[in-house]
């Protein structure tokens, strides 16, 4: 009953049943803990977790997964260490969450140690390990895992190609993309989004343009996210006018994130000589008025404009 109420967001009723129950077993403790984590009551979850007399792997997983999914990777790792000290053996759910945390923290040492504990990986864990080693700039380890897995699907290929792009090795990512097709695996929309986003983040404009140009060759139509990734790659590489033009001319309405990305590129490259930054800020704010990021970026851009004007006048 606790789980059923929690699934529908009825936390008060779930707690009422838990509080009035004369005896609590592992299922009731974990159900109430899951009710708190599922509904975003993390402080209450922590307090309840501390009261559980005998914590099993489900109890620990609920906390570790919650911290990992909410971006508190340091706490996820801390709880994983505490779980080990408590003598509870992790399962694949634990490994999946903490491997993601290691990647986000670039903790290669712990990531390797956890990898050595994994005895029966599934494809989700293999994919997570490739991502973790990539974030830790250990591409050789990522590739070894990929090669050792017998059934390589589009998800694993996408992860490997993206890993090389993420680490600035654009030419190799293109070669791997070709190998993927020779292996009989056809890329999908998600493949191109993942690869293009990594190319943009790494400043691989040529690779991003090449991948974008490949999309129609696979019977796919470039989607909004593909255009936004390419515009991001242009902006990060300093091609501000071209990025702005792409957003204006693409067959989709850019979202607030696209305009904010362009405004950020204007800041990074001190692009203060045109109205692009101001226009991007206005478009972003019109779509998401409560977001303070465009205000901050525009204020910084205007400060740069004043400084540039003063320096120009002084010279």
CB 103 within 8 A of CB 136: yes
Two tokens at 284?
């972003």
Nearest to 91 by CA among 130, 131, 62, 48: 62
24: in domain:
no
Please count the structural domains in the chain.
3
Is a pLDDT exceeding 70 seen at residue 311?
no
Does residue 256 share a domain with residue 205?
no
111: in domain:
no
Does residue 83 share a domain with residue 48?
yes
Is a pLDDT exceeding 80 seen at residue 307?
no
Q: How many CB atoms lie within 10 A of CB 205?
A: 20
Domain stops at, among 181, 211, 241: 211
Is a pLDDT exceeding 60 seen at residue 315?
no
216: in domain:
no
Is a pLDDT exceeding 50 seen at residue 310?
no
Two tokens at 207?
């690779």
Does residue 198 share a domain with residue 258?
no
Rounded mean pLDDT, 271-299: 88
Whole-number mean pLDDT of the chain? 91
pLDDT digit string, tens, across residues 88-119: 999 999 999 999 999 999 999 999 999 999 99
25: in domain:
no
pLDDT digit string, tens, across residues 239-272: 999 999 999 999 999 999 999 999 999 999 988 7
74: in domain:
yes
Does residue 203 share a domain with residue 238?
no
Please give the backbone phi and psi of residue 177, each rounded to the nearest 5 degrees, phi first. Answer: -65, -40
Does residue 65 share a domain with residue 44?
yes
Does residue 233 share a domain with residue 202?
no
For 157-178, give one letter per residue: b (16+ CB within 10 A) or e.
bbbbbbbbbbbbbbebbbebbe
pLDDT at 197: 96
Would the CA dihedral through 285, 289, 295, 296 be positive or negative? Answer: negative
Domain stops at, among 102, 125, 148: 102
CB 18 within 8 A of CB 36: no
Q: What's the domain range around 188?
A: 138-211
In this prediction, residue 33 has a pLDDT band, given cuts at 50, 70 and 90, of: very high
79: in domain:
yes
Does residue 236 share a domain with residue 155?
no
Rounded mean pLDDT, 173-186: 95
State how far Cα 223 lies from the chain centre. Answer: 19
Two tokens at 30?
């974990």
Does residue 259 share a domain with residue 186?
no
In this prediction, residue 43 has a pLDDT band, given cuts at 50, 70 and 90, of: very high
Does residue 203 share a domain with residue 240?
no
- Tell me the CA distances in angstroms from 254 to 51, 104, 246, 262, one per residue in order: 49, 28, 10, 11
Does residue 180 share a domain with residue 91?
no
Say what angle helices 57-69 and 73-85 make with each other, to 10 degrees.
160
CB 142 within 8 A of CB 176: no
Q: Write the DSSP string, the chain.
A: -HHHHHHTT-HHHHHHHHHH-S---HHHHHHHHHHHHHTT-HHHHHHHHHH-SS--HHHHHHHHHHHHHTT-HHHHHHHHHHHHHTTPPP-HHHHHHHHHHHHHTT-HHHHHHHHHH-SS--HHHHHHHHHHHHHTT-HHHHHHHHHH-SS--HHHHHHHHHHHHHTT-HHHHHHHHHHHHHTTPPP-HHHHHHHHHHHHHHT-HHHHHHHHHHGGGGT----HHHHHHHHHHHHHTT-HHHHHHHHHHSSS---HHHHHHHHHHHHHTT--SSSHHHHHHHHHHHH-TT--HHHHHHHHHHHHHHHHHHHHHH-
In this prediction, residue 1 has a pLDDT band, given cuts at 50, 70 and 90, of: low
């Amino acid at each position: 009953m606790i789980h059923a109420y929690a699934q529908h967001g009825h936390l008060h009723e779930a707690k009422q049943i838990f509080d009035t129950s004369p005896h609590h077993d592992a299922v009731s403790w974990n159900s109430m803990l899951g009710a708190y984590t599922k509904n975003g009551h993390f402080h209450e979850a922590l307090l309840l977790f501390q009261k559980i007399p005998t914590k099993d792997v489900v109890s620990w997983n609920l906390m570790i997964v919650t911290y990992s999914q909410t971006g508190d990777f340091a706490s996820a790792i801390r709880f994983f260490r505490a779980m080990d000290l408590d003598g509870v053996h992790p399962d694949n759910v634990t490994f999946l969450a903490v491997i993601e945390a290691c990647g986000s923290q670039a903790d290669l040492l712990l990531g390797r140690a956890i990898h050595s504990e994994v005895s029966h990986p599934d494809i989700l864990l293999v994919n997570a390990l490739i991502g973790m080693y990539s974030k830790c700039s250990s591409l050789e380890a990522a590739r070894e895992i990929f090669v050792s897995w017998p059934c390589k699907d589009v998800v694993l290929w996408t992860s490997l190609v993206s890993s090389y792009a993420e680490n600035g090795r654009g030419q190799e990512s293109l070669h791997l993309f070709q190998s993927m097709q020779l292996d009989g695996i056809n890329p999908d929309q998600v493949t191109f989004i993942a690869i293009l986003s990594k190319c943009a983040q790494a400043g691989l404009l040529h690779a991003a343009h090449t991948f974008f140009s490949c999309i129609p060759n696979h019977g796919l139509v470039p989607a909004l996210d593909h255009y936004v990734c390419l515009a991001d790659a242009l902006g990060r590489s300093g091609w501000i006018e071209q990025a702005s033009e792409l957003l204006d001319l693409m067959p989709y309405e850019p979202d607030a994130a696209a305009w904010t990305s362009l405004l950020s590129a204007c800041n990074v490259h001190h692009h203060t000589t045109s109205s692009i930054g101001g226009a991007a800020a206005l478009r972003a704010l019109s779509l998401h008025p409560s977001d303070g990021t465009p205000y901050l970026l525009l204020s910084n851009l205007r400060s740069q404009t004043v400084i540039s004007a003063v320096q120009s006048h002084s010279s």
